[in-house]
Structure 1
Amino acid sequence: MNKQIEKLRFFLERRGFYVSSRLADRLGIRAKWVRLFFIYSSFATFGIGFVAYLILAFWLRLKDLVSTKRSSVFDL
């Protein structure tokens, strides 16, 4: 059972938007604590924490797309 949970965690961390790890790096804390905060806040607020997570993921994705610098016209 524990191995299945670890596989699921690895899959979600690898395929996710890395919101937790990027936010943890910016705050200087471990990503585990950021994930726990989102989990507990989603239970406490009936899903508002999950919505905030999705908004942050969307915002970080847009930021990455906008800040990508191209070296020439042919990179489009």
Structure 2
Amino acid sequence: MKWFYKMLYYSQKRGYYVCQRIADRLGIRAKVVRTTFMYLTFVTLGFGFTLYLFFAFWMRIKDIVYTKRSSVFDL
């Protein structure tokens, strides 16, 4: 049972960062975004989860591409 809580803690710490970034961008609370994704997942039989994974992948790629360089010579 201890491994379950470790996995739950890891997913909450890493997984909800997508919702936090979307909420910061829209200027609303992260709880509202999380709840919306959960309801969307149950109502549309998985589309909300697919949309969540798409946003996570998209934000990860965006972070990799748009990293700030310290100088011009870091190209």
Return the TM-score normalized by structure 2: 0.76
Cα drift, residue 7 of structure 1: 7.2
Cα drift, residue 68 of structure 1: 1.0
Aligned residues: 71
Segments of structure 2 that go 5 or more residues without pairing to the other structure are: none
Cα drift, residue 29 of structure 1: 0.8
Amino acid at match of 2:24: D
Give the fraction of aligned pairs with identical amino acids, expressed as a percent. Answer: 59
Could you say what the CA RMSD is over the residues aligned between the two structures, in angstroms?
2.4
Moved over 6 A (4+): none
The one of the two structures with greater contact order (alpha-carbon pairs below 8 A, sep at least 6) is 1
Secondary structure at the counterpart of residue 13 of structure 1: helix
Provide, for residues 4-39 of structure 1, a one-character-per-residue CA deviation record: whole Å limited to 9, x for no partner: xx9766432312261100000011111011000000
